[in-house]
């Protein structure tokens, strides 16, 4: 027994007897000493032993026979059932044993992870949490957390909380020029669940789907996880270029696009290209998934009409999220769908984990309705523009011979182009080891078709701290032998 352990003594005794039974050291039918005798031998009270025996009896390890003491149950064989090592294999080998083709594909995907104890440094999708109006949020959450109603505490509505759907409809009309009925809007657990549910609903395993190259990793992961073949569509300064796809290629079930701000390169898709893609989808009977990510965080130039507005044949599904304009852990997003798809999409949502907590949805609805979202977006836009400027200045001053980066018109990261001999994935891993988090452009490519680069986020770093943050990166690079 370990008297310094946090585990109570009776629990320690229970665990040891249980392990002896499982490993065959105490075979079925063995008579155990009385609790009084065992207690004296072990130097613990009788009541401690009784507690341990009671748990073992309730779990079927021990049997007590009236007037005849306590025995190990007969069903426990006279040999080891399974050694603990065998029952707890390493996660990786267990996954290897049971993985399907899709599971194996997922194992090959790297999942971005960082230690929340470390500063976010340059994580591309990290928002400036210092800007979020937490006192407003606390008030809105407090308002709804006291409601003891089925609406608030039961399962969330399949299509999402009605007041939030209404608020999103108004928001899209006022700020995005999208005229969609409330009945076309479904709330999701972020864009990620929306994309997964769309894949489930629109594709069969083996289908060909088209994807921007480079493109949103989480979207291509969802495509692969749903058993689709993903074909890369090259990007130029006008966005994804349909003309570069071979004519003989079958149309593909769908195309995933980020027209507002191509993820990750940052260009806005031209109007002509938008029209090309809408015409393509209507001619081929394919779907366009329009991920409107970063449309609100535009610093220069004006926003162009969404694919959804340009589409008359109803082949576009518009996806939005509050991850970047509020905070990512909120897990609230939405889709705008042709009305006849709404019910099957809601079923796909329920299969992939249901809508977010109603409390979050209700507070988000109020956040939009009371004007806090617009105020927060305006403030974030202004501050992020300053942060971008500070990052570019420091990259130029401190790393100009190693990283080449230009200003982006929208979004939360720049692309830092590296010397052609550098392996961006290796470099990103080396930096991450020192707590400097970036993403490698190589992770976003299905084929290695672009020079090495890093996605360097600026939204989460205060402009005043930028010289030190970049200096830390310089030192980390030099430590790893890069001449910069
Ligand atoms: C292209 C793109 N779309 C959407 C999102 C938001 O995803 P979610 O709503 O699942 O957090 C991100 C987040 O980084 C993104 O990069």
Residues for the chain: how many in total?
Answer: 484
* pLDDT of the residue at 91: 47
Q: Is the pLDDT of residue 80 over 90?
A: no
Residue of 114, 123, 125, 215 with the most ligand 1 atoms within 8 Å of its CB, for mutation:
125
Ligand 1 centre and the CA of 330: distance in Å? 12
Residue of 197, 218, 268 with the most ligand 1 atoms within 8 Å of its CB, for mutation:
218
Ligand 1 centre and the CA of 323: distance in Å? 7
Going by their DSSP bridges, the two strands 287-291 and 254-257 should be labelled as parallel
Ligand 1 centre and the CA of 293: distance in Å? 6
Q: Tell me which of 62-76, 174-188, 299-313 is least confident.
A: 62-76
Averaged pLDDT, 297-325: 94
Token pair in block for residue 366: 């109020």
As a whole number of angstroms, the distance between CA 137 and CA 112 comes to 28
Upper half-sphere CA count for residue 324 (Cβ side, 13 Å): 23
Is there a contact between 431 and 467 (Cβ–Cβ < 8 Å)?
A: no
Averaged pLDDT, 336-346: 94
At residue 402 the predicted structure's pLDDT band, cuts being 50, 70 and 90, is very high
Atom of ligand 1 nearest to the CA of 192: 10
Ligand 1 centre and the CA of 57: distance in Å? 51
* pLDDT of the residue at 247: 84
In short, whether 293's Cβ falls inside 6 Å of ligand 1 is: yes
In three state form, how does the secondary structure of the chain look? CCCCCCCCHHHHHHHHHHHHHHCCCCCCCCEECCHHHHHHHHCCCHHHHHHHHHHHHHCCCEEEECCCEEEECCCCCCCCCCCHHHHCCCHHHHHHHHCCHHHHHHHHCCCCCCCCCCCCCCCCCCCCHHHCCHHHHHHHHHHHHCCCCHHHHCCCCCCCCHHHHHHHHHHHHHHHCCCCCHHHEEEECHHHHHHHHHHHHHCCCCCEEEEEECCCHHHHHHHHHCCCEEEEEEEECCEECHHHCCCCCCCCCEEEECCCCCCCCCCCCCHHHHHHHHHHHHHHCCEEEEECCCCCCECCCCCCCCHHHHCCCCCEEEEEECCCCCCHHHCCEEEECCHHHHHHHHHHHHHCCCCCCHHHHHHHHHHHHCCHHHHHHHHHHHHHHHHHHHHHHHHHHHHCCCCEECCCCECCEEEEECCCCCCHHHHHHHHHHCCCCCEEHHHHCCCCCCCCEEEEECCCCCHHHHHHHHHHHHHHHHHCCCCC
Residue of 186, 188, 216, 411 with the most ligand 1 atoms within 8 Å of its CB, for mutation:
216
Identify which has the larger pLDDT, 313 or 169.
Answer: 169
In short, whether 112's Cβ falls inside 6 Å of ligand 1 is: no
The class level of CATH for 379-479 reads: alpha beta
For atom 2 of ligand 1, which residue has the closest CA? 293
Atom of ligand 1 nearest to the CA of 258: 1
Quick: pLDDT tens for 459-469.
Answer: 999 999 999 99
CATH 1.10.10.10 fits 9-72, yes or no: yes
Domain ranges of the chain: 9-72, 133-373, 379-479
Quick: pLDDT tens for 60-74.
Answer: 899 988 888 899 988
Ligand 1 centre and the CA of 430: distance in Å? 25
Ligand 1 centre and the CA of 204: distance in Å? 24
Among residues 388, 322, 324, 330, the alpha carbon closest in space to that of 125 is found at: 324
Compute CA distances 110 → 95, 210, 439, 442, 444, whole Å: 15, 21, 11, 12, 11
As a whole number of angstroms, the distance between CA 388 and CA 399 comes to 15
Rg of the chain over Cα atoms, rounded to whole angstroms, equals 29
In short, whether 321's Cβ falls inside 6 Å of ligand 1 is: yes
Q: Tell me which of 56-65, 157-166, 353-362 is least confident.
A: 56-65
Percent of the chain with pLDDT over 90: 77
Among residues 257, 275, 276, the alpha carbon closest in space to that of 267 is found at: 257
Hey, how many other C-beta atoms are within 10 angstroms of the C-beta on 309?
17
Tell me phi and psi for residue 256, to 5 degrees: -100, 125
Averaged pLDDT, 296-306: 95
Architecture of domain 133-373: 3-Layer(aba) Sandwich (3.40)
In short, whether 126's Cβ falls inside 6 Å of ligand 1 is: no
Percent of the chain with pLDDT over 70: 92
Q: Is the pLDDT of residue 194 over 60?
A: yes
As a whole number of angstroms, the distance between CA 75 and CA 115 comes to 46
* pLDDT of the residue at 409: 97
């Amino acid at each position: 027994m370990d008297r310094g352990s946090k585990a109570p003594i009776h629990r320690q005794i229970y665990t040891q007897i249980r392990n002896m039974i499982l490993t065959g050291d105490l075979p079925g039918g063995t008579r155990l000493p009385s609790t009084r005798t065992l207690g004296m031998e072990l130097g613990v009270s009788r009541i401690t032993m009784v507690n341990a025996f009671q748990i073992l009896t309730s779990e079927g390890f021990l049997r007590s026979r009236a007037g005849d003491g306590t025995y190990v149950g007969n069903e426990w064989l006279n040999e080891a059932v399974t050694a603990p090592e065998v029952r707890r294999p390493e996660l990786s080998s267990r996954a290897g044993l049971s993985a399907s083709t899709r599971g194996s594909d997922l194992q090959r995907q790297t999942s971005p992870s960082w230690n929340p104890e470390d500063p976010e440094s340059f994580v591309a999708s990290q928002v400036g949490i210092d800007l979020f109006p937490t006192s407003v949020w606390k008030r809105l959450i407090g308002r709804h957390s006291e409601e003891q109603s089925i609406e608030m505490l039961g399962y969330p509505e399949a299509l999402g909380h009605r007041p939030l759907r209404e608020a999103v409809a108004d928001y899209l009309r006022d700020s995005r020029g999208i005229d969609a009925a409330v009945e076309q809007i479904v709330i999701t657990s972020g864009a990620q669940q929306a994309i997964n549910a769309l894949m489930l609903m629109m594709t069969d395993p083996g289908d060909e789907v088209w994807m921007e190259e480079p493109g949103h990793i989480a979207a291509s992961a969802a495509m692969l996880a749903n058993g689709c073949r993903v074909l890369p569509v090259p990007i130029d300064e006008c966005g994804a270029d349909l003309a570069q796809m071979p004519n003989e290629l079958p149309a593909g079930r769908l195309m995933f696009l980020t027209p507002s701000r191509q993820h990750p390169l940052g260009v806005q898709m031209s109007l002509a290209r938008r029209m090309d893609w809408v015409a393509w989808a209507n001619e081929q009977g394919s779907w366009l998934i329009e991920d409107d990510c970063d449309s609100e965080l535009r610093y220069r130039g004006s926003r162009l009409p969404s694919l959804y507005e340009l589409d008359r044949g109803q082949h576009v599904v518009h996806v939005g999220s509050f991850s970047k304009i509020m905070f990512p852990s909120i897990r609230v997003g939405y889709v705008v769908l042709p009305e006849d798809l709404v019910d099957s999409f809601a079923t796909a949502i329920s299969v992939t984990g249901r809508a977010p907590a109603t409390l979050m949805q209700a507070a988000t609805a109020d956040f939009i309705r009371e004007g806090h979202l617009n105020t927060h977006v305006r403030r974030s836009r202004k501050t992020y523009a300053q942060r971008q400027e500070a990052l570019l200045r420091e990259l130029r001053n401190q790393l100009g011979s190693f990283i080449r980066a230009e200003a982006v018109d929208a979004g939360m990261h720049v692309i830092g182009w590296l010397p052609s001999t550098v392996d961006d994935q290796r470099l990103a891993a080396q930096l991450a080891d020192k707590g400097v988090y970036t993403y490698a452009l190589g992770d976003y490519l299905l084929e290695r078709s672009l020079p090495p680069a890093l996605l360097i986020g600026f939204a989460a770093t205060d402009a005043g701290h930028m010289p030190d943050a970049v200096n830390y990166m310089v030192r980390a690079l030099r430590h790893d032998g890069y001449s910069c």
